[in-house]
Amino acid sequence: MPGATVTGMTDTPWEPPLAGTESEHLLAMLERLRTTFRWKADGLDTAGLNLRIGASALTIGGLLKHLARVEDITFAWKMRGSSPGEPWVSAPLDDTWEFTTAADDSPEYLYGLWDAAVERSRTRLAAIVADGGLDQPAHWEWPGRGHFSVRRIVCDLIEEYGRHTGHADLLREAVDGRVGEDPPEGWKPQS
């Protein structure tokens, strides 16, 4: 999602537009959170991806795997009722599986898993928006209450990324001191 160029500012593709529609802002906020999360997770080796703080089982590697699963389930099953594909179909329905198994995965696998899931999600969401916008009903249904709208599911995903980007922020600072709200100008993923 391209950012706006304003006199005195450079173009940062993760920056939401200064003025736009509600839908443009909502989708841009999701992209900004995805980019900030990826920046917080970027360029780590196995030790960095597996670092834990205190008693928490959270790791950046676990967050990469978890958010890859969330992306595929959200945009395949919740939005359209389609299979999220592997490795999710064969994975146990367990809230801790991604976090506990990520320690066995290579950095290349974890980064590739998340990057590919996000690219699939971008493609799926663009098709959904082109085919009726954010107010259309999604496949996901709350029994007895009706179907969630696409907008509601996107908002839920923004909340999910906000929570886990905060986790990644703390974990990354513990790994190597990286802090900051946004990636530096011109940043591109290394891994």
Q: Among 85, 88, 112, which residue's Cα sits nearest to residue 101? A: 88
122: exposed, middle or buried (C-beta count within 10 Å: 0-12, 13-18, 19+)?
middle
pLDDT tens digits along 152-180: 999 999 999 999 999 999 999 999 999 98
Identify the three-state secondary structure at position 142: strand
Domains of the chain, first to last: 22-176 (1.20.120.450)
**Residue 23 and residue 129: Cα distance in Å, rounded?**
9
Work out the pLDDT band at 117, boundaries 50, 70, 90: very high
Cβ(42)–Cβ(190) below 8 Å: yes
**Residue 160 and residue 33: Cα distance in Å, rounded?**
10
| Residue 163, token pair as written in the block | 């929570």
Among 37-41, 90-94, 104-108, where is mean pLDDT lowest? Answer: 90-94
Render 68-85 in DSSP notation, one character per residue.
HHHHHIIIIIIHH-----
pLDDT tens digits along 75-103: 999 999 999 999 999 999 888 899 999 99
The DSSP secondary-structure symbol of 91 reads S
Work out the pLDDT band at 185, boundaries 50, 70, 90: confident
